[in-house]
Amino acid sequence: IGGGLAAEEEVLLDWKPGDPVTPQYVLRLPGYTDDYLCSPEDNIYNISFSRFKIRDLEGGSVILDLKRHCPTEIKDVIELDAVRFIQYHFSPAFLNLREIGATLEFTVGGKAVNKFRLIERHYFRDLLMKTFDFEIGFCIPYSRNTCEHIYCLPDLDSHTIEDMISHPFETRSDSFYFANNTLIMHHKAEYSFSQGLELNENQT
């Protein structure tokens, strides 16, 4: 165990600004990142997300369905910085779900994408809740693609659930997208699980 920890520390200590950000590096990060680890210009494949849908696998209900206008013709356009951050508003019931399916629709520009991979790190405050690691694979140029990832959500105790509900947007995530083991996109998100509670409080 000690050797494993030493190896993880060595990966972090050896990394310098300007060095390539690898999957091994982000998997060993000690916490939520203060800044983006790549720029929008690093998305040399011009990958653009057009839809993100979340469904409850057990009940079948759609929890979230975000759509963005997708032009008929796929063009090589650099992703706007504002697209890299989002705040999600969920109800407290979300924290009791066991499995969700997340469908991602995206387009690819003029370059083929090899070994497309997504690594997500989810935190509540300074605590790492869970890491998700998905292999998306190969995408051909000028293509529209759809994939669904299955998330097995962590089993949370009642105290943690209460804390996460009472402290909106202190639950956060880093999403790292790699192609050929090189970081090409880094997205950030914050989560609130108090949707509906504010309305109930105002009505009382």
Cβ atoms < 10 Å from Cβ of 125: 13
pLDDT at 83: 80
pLDDT at 16: 74
What does the pLDDT average to over 62-75?
A: 75
- Let me know if domain 2-203 sits in CATH 2.70.50.40: yes
In this structure, are residues 149 and 101 in contact, taking their beta carbons and an 8 Å threshold? yes
pLDDT digits (tens, 9 = 90+) for 23-58: 999 999 999 999 999 999 999 999 999 999 999 999
Specify the pTM. Answer: 0.86
Is a pLDDT exceeding 70 seen at residue 122?
yes
Of the pLDDT bands very low, low, confident and very high (cuts 50, 70, 90), residue 204 is: very low
- Across the chain, mean pLDDT equals 89
Query: Can you say whether the dihedral through the CA atoms of 106, 110, 112, 116 is positive or negative?
Result: negative
Top pLDDT among 74 and 186 is at: 186
pLDDT at 80: 59
Is a pLDDT exceeding 60 seen at residue 6?
no
pLDDT at 12: 62
Contacts of 164 (CB under 8 A, 6+ apart): 95, 124, 156, 170, 171, 193
Length of the chain: 204
130 phi, psi to nearest 5 deg? -170, 150
Least confident of 15-19, 88-92, 143-147: 15-19
Residue 40, classed as helix, strand or coil, is helix
CA distance 121 to 197: 27
